[in-house]
């Protein structure tokens, strides 16, 4: 299940940020992806909430600095993406 969830997560991010899903790693961040701005950050969070049926708090959204942070957060919400 974790591989399937990670693939879904990568597809969400790739679609919104206009990058290849295969190019995403835990280190990818707004500093390394051109289209990762504040609006797309929010769009990613909303899409993740909808896809995985979870709720993210504002503090959790703000704490996401890269893909790895999002993966770790999802893991705490029982959405295994490791």
pLDDT digits (tens, 9 = 90+) for 2-16: 899 999 999 999 999
CA dihedral angle for residue 68, residue 27, residue 22, residue 38, rounded to 10 degrees: 80
Query: Looking at residue 2, what is its pLDDT?
Result: 85
Residue 1's pLDDT band, with cuts at 50, 70 and 90, is low
Structural domains in the chain plus CATH codes: 2-76 (1.10.1200.10)
pLDDT digits (tens, 9 = 90+) for 21-67: 999 999 999 999 999 999 999 999 999 999 999 999 999 999 999 99
CB 78 within 8 A of CB 2: no
Distance CA 80, CA 58 (A): 21
Q: Is the pLDDT of residue 82 over 80?
A: no
Mean pLDDT score, 54-81: 97
């Amino acid at each position: 299940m974790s591989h399937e969830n990670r693939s879904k997560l990568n597809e969400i991010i790739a679609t919104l940020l206009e990058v290849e899903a295969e190019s995403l790693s835990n280190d990818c961040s707004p500093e390394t992806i051109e289209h990762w701005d504040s609006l797309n950050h929010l769009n990613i969070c909303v899409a993740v909430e909808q896809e995985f049926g979870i709720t993210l708090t504002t503090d959790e959204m703000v704490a996401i600095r890269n893909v790895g942070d999002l993966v770790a957060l999802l893991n705490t919400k029982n959405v295994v993406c490791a």
